[in-house]
Structure formats: structure tokens, C-alpha cells
Structure 1
Amino acid sequence: MKQTIDHAIVLIPSLEPDRRLPVYIKELQEYGLSRIVIVDDGSGNDYQDIYKELEECGCTVIHHSINRGKGFALKTGYDYIRENISGYTCIVTADSDGQHAPEDVYKLAVETKGHPDAMILGVRDFKKAGIPAKSLIGNRVTSAIFAALYGKCLPDTQSGLRAFGPKLAERMLDIKGERFEYETQVLITCIRSKIPILTLPIQTIYEDENRGTHFKAVRDSLKIIGILGADFMKFLSSSVACSFVDIVIAWALLDWMKPYMKGEDFLRIMIATAFARSVSIAGNYLLNKSMVFKDKQAPGHSLIRYLSLCVFNILLSAAGVYILHVSLGYNEKTAKLLCDGCLFLLGYQIQQRWVFSREEGWFRE
């Protein structure tokens, strides 16, 4: 027996739809999904008959005079829902090109009842035959990069079928992005804010080799990869810059103190190293806080966590080098490079998910 979901809202961004969309809407309504908001993202006069038919079917249709992009269309829908609709239990976003079966839209709406504070992601099975090459390659690449940088394996990062409760809906307008990359930014924000991302298998539908999609394989995939790697490149730049500062300050102090500390080389090296490292750590913390992870909260817990991570890295690096060198016979320098490289990637994930976590501000009232 179907559960009642009268208070679920289906949000569909639409660009130049064909006659399949009215049919799709009627199928959604047969599943009890009667509250449907459609955003016409600048389709033009040739498509207004279809949108008029959708309004006659009971849909709310919002129009953009020009094409603004999928992300912008979704935000238009969220803003309309926030200002005009109350008492809903969840929003389900779906595409207008026939990729999302009505029964899967229904399944996500039902699933959200048990997980109102989570992001429910409908994921397709890309192991099946008949998947267009551009979709298969794009999803494989973005999923691999997402897992490496954000520590969450999502088999379908580009899925537009998503569901979430009102608390998450209120924050969707704050997330950057206006086109297809917006949906990737949403997933990144959820990871950093410790919002659970749950996956639900859905049907894999590609009609006519997916020629109806407005996703540009090369251009939009590069944008998504750029979004995924942007903060990591800032993180890398911050680390390289602070390492350079560390070396320059240490070298300068070693030379400057030499005439005053003759015969006390160990103490001189310790002072120069400690001062240079303190400056570079402080600089790295401030850069990561403001430029990389954009943490607007006052220093406090994040500083303590950052310093704890520094100590953890030092101890783990030393232990790793020792084990690789003594037990496995690796050269010490090679072992140092391997350990520090792995710790660098691990440190990126720890900083975004723990040190500069935004969980305290996500659900603020």
C-alpha cells in the first residue's frame, strides 16, 4: 500500500521541454505527488503552450525570461517555496527529461520521512549496459575525485533526483553556483556541515541516448571537476606558501643568530626551527580558515583542533617513516615523502570535516 505524501513538494527545473513532460507530471500525480513546482528556465515562446498545459494540470509554473542555469532555477524554486508554501515535509528535485521514474520520485519522498535532516540521493547503476559513454565517464571521474577529496564514496554525484526536509531547504539558497556545478557544491556543503548523505538505488533511464539533456559533457564536466578541486588547490597553495615562509624565516634566523650564539648550534637551530614553524603554522591556520574552508566562526575550537591535528601529523609521520624504514626497508627520504603525502590528503579531509566543520551553524534558527 502506498503511503500518503500529500505534503511533499516536487521541484522540477525545465528548459525547452517536449510533450513527454505533461505525461510525466500526470504519472507523478498518480503516485499522490500533487504539489509540483516547475521552473521554466528561459525556454522561450515556443514552449509556453506546454507550460500552460502544466498549469492546467495543477502545477505551479515560474518563468525566467532568459536561461539562468539549473542551479539558479532550483534556487528560484526554493525561494518560491519558502515564501509561498508552508507545512511541507520534504522537497524532491527531479529532472524534466524523463530520467527519473515517478515511482523513484515517490520512493525518495517516502524515505525522507524517516530521515528529515539528511540528503537523500537517488543513485543510478552505471554497471548496466546501454549507458551513454559521456554519462558513464563523467560520473566515474567525478565520483572518484569526490571520494578522494571528501572521503565519501557516492556512485552518482551528478544525480538530479534528491530529497530533503525543510531545514535543509532553508539553506539551499546560501550555496554558491548557478548551473550544473551547483548540485556538486550542494554535496560538498553537506559533507563539510556533517549532513548525512544517504543513497537510494533508482532506475537507470536514458531515452534516445540521452540526447534530450542540456548537460554539456566536456564543458559542464570540467566545471564540476573545477568545483571539486578548487578548494583543494587553495589548500595546496596555502601549504606551499607557508612551507616557503617556514624555510625563509628559519634560514634567516640561523644566519642572524650565528654571531651571537657561537658554540651553541643545537640551541640556535631549535630556536630558529620553533619560531619559523610557529609563524608558518599560524599563517597556515589563518589562510585555511579564511580562504580555503571559509570558516566565519570565531577562533576557538577550530584553533585547538588545528593544533591537535599538527601534533597528530608529527607523531604519525615519525611513526610511519620508522615503520617503513626499519620494517620494510624503505629509504628514509622516500618513506618521508610517502608518509607526508598521505597525511597531506588525510589532513585536507580532517580539516574540512572536523577542524573547520560548519555543523554548528547549519541548522541555526
Structure 2
Amino acid sequence: MTDTTREWTLAERPRGEPDLDCFDLRERDRPEPDPGDLLVRVRYLSVDPYMRGRMRDAESYAEPWAVGDALKGGIVGEVVSSADDRYDAGDLVTGNGTWGDHALLDADEVAPVDPSVADPPAYLGVLGMPGRTAYFGLLEVGEPKPGDTVVVSGAAGAVGSVVGQIAKLNGCRVVGFAGSDEKTEWLTEDLGFDAAINYRTAEDYGAALAEAAPDGVDVYFDNVGGPITDAVFGELNLDARVAVCGQIAHYNDEETPTGPRKLPLLIAPRARVQGLLVSDYATRFGEAAERLAGWVADGDIEHRETVVEGLENAPDAFLGLFSGDNVGKQVVRVSSPE
């Protein structure tokens, strides 16, 4: 093994939509683990929409990156050198590390990866943070009941695709918004959604939703915001629940849109709107991991990963999130087993 490693850093803060000038691939000395640490060779790294917020110079629920900082996110990797008795060289683990060839991880903050349950990339999607977000966001915030109509925006993404399937397991009718015919077909033909709307070709979101959800909307899981959410607010039933998970339609806005002008639509149905952060459920991650792994193993939940090859293409994979390139979870393959 060489004594150096590559990692991506934040070169400059974006204005509006990020571009490749925001990223810089640097070479640095390969770190050595201190007691309790693991040096991991990264197999896969995760790119996620929330990372856009970390590129701003502003306080948020995720600490912003400073210019020059290494970019960080979920990874799956193979232990190269262990300074902790719980893990040995060759073990596969998942945790939060740098966008690089190698990552130094705290052994207290990683989890083992079992390839017999699912392929390693799934531990960054359905069996990782997105799956946990779907699990707690729907079941704890959305509170679905059998017979409810659940609508999901960003339904073909890492979180939305799991939300819809959990809703089906709970006896709900499920409608998803997605950005291509390929995605809407995947939702209905493979994942069991009852209906799906291509928001790129639908001329009237409200009319399309009224047709797909003729009995109105009981639960809305919002990953997107914007005109889709405006349309859903007009179809909410009495005592509807809205789980606000993400607002990718606004992540690149330089100015906050004037509003909120749609709140009057919440009055008559007495709808409840609640934001969610998966970290609030950290003490229950084990519960989510067990149930999600069981559903995956039994074939009750299907998953899909869009894999971009090569660490050098990680920024392209991230930027692709904003143009809807991915179906399911977007990951980058950094290395393969030796």
C-alpha cells in the first residue's frame, strides 16, 4: 500500500447550483489509526442531497464544511488497520468518513456490513441513513393507518422508494411523484406503488394527483417541496399528516422564496406538518436496522443503487442528484475487493 491517499475537499462555496469548480481532489499522507480507530479502504461512498446545505456558510442541522475541508459522508469500507479489538483487518464496516481512498473511523461509530443480507452498497441506502429516515419519518411522523392514501415526492430516490414500500406493508394506497417514465414504471411495476406521476410531463399536478388519489391524501412524505408540495396541500384530508424530510427543489436557491402562502390550505383539514431529522431517533437505530434487514431478506422491500465508478467522479455523482440522474440510491464505487 502506498503512503498517500486521495480525498476530495471543498474548493469554494457555490452560488446557486454547485459545479465542478467547487471541488478539489488532493493527495495527502495516509493516516494511521490511534487507539480506538480503524483505517478503512473505502469501497463505496454516499452522495446525498443534504450535503448541499453543508456547502453553505450558514448554521444548519449539519455542520457546514469550511473551504479546504475534506468532504464527508456515509461510506462502506474494508478495515486495513485496526487499533480496536472489536475489528480485524478485512472486516467490512459502514460509518461516516471522507470522500477519499481511505478514511479514519472511530470504532465506536461504525457498524458491521453483512454481505449475506445485502450487497455492500445497500448499507448506504435501504440499510443505511436513507432507510432509517424512511422508517422513522413515515412510521413516527406520518403515522400511517391501513386504508390511508400516502403520497411521496422524490419517490424514486433513496428515501422515497423505501417510504412507499413501508406504506404498502402497512396497508396503504401509495402514490409517488418521480421525474421520468423509467422511474414511474419502476415504482408501479417493481415496488408496488398504486400510481405514479411523472412531474416532468404532467401539465397540472393537482389534476394528476386528484386522478391518482381520488379519496384525497392522508399522509404526505415530502422530499422535494416546490410546486409538487403546493399541489398536494390542496388535496389533504381531515387530520392529514405531512412529514417534511427534504426540500431539494430549494437547495440551490440564493434567496428564500416569499411565503409561506399555502398555509391557508392546512386550516380546513387541520393538517399537521412536522419536520424530521433521523438523528433524533439515534437510540432506536438498532430497531430500524433489524426490521429493514428483515424486510429486505424476505423480499418485502426491494432496493436499487445507481453506481458511479471511480473516486474521481464523485462530484459528478453528487451534481447528478439535482438533475435526477439516479434511480434509488446514488453511490460511488471507489475500490473493489483485492
> TM-score, normalised on structure 1?
0.27
User: Which structure's residues are more often strand, by fraction?
Assistant: 2
> TM-score, normalised on structure 2?
0.28
Bigger relative CO (Cα 8 Å, ≥ 6 apart): 2
Which structure's CA Rg is the greater one? 1
User: Which structure's residues are more often helix, by fraction?
Assistant: 1
